[in-house]
Amino acid sequence: MADLHVVGMAAMLPFGDASVDAIATEPPYNPSVLDMVADSIGEMYRVLRAGGRSALLVAAEQARKVRCTLAQLDVVMELDEPIDRKGTPVHCFCCKR
């Protein structure tokens, strides 16, 4: 359903394996949640169907660990770029499963 949006913790998503077409997320930028952000990426890709796409906007300081986590998954990196989000340095990752 294209108009369904879920807001919540990504550590245990309430969806079956390969049941989601797309994921767009902007986890908290606080450095204290870096491990939680990295740990949730595997769960996001568990629910993403083959051919599905994701967009993650993370704090610039989180980019290295997120990139390393994505590199361990079966995804194709389509975008890996720093951007300025209203004066805040962030990093955008777009991937295809």
Break the chain into its structural domains and give their ranges. 23-96
pLDDT bracket for residue 5 (50, 70, 90)? confident
Beta strand 88-96 with 48-59 is: antiparallel
What letters, b where the CB count within 10 A reaches 16 and e where it falls short, cover 59-96?
beebbeebeebbeeeebeeeeeeeeeeeeeebbbbbbe
pLDDT of the residue at 6: 72
Q: Which CATH architecture has domain 23-96?
A: 3-Layer(aba) Sandwich (3.40)
pLDDT reading at 1 higher than 70: no
pLDDT of the residue at 47: 95
Task: Identify the burial level of 43 via C-beta atoms within 10 angstroms of its C-beta, where 0-12 means exposed, 13-18 middle and 19 or more buried.
Answer: middle
Q: Please state the rounded mean pLDDT for residues 81-94.
A: 97
Tens-place pLDDT, residues 14-42: 899 999 999 999 999 999 999 999 999 99
Provide Rg for the chain, Cα atoms. 13
pLDDT reading at 71 higher than 90: yes
pLDDT of the residue at 81: 98
Higher pLDDT, 28 or 3: 28
Alpha carbon 38 to chain centroid, angstroms: 9
Structure tokens at 21: 């077409």
pLDDT of the residue at 73: 94
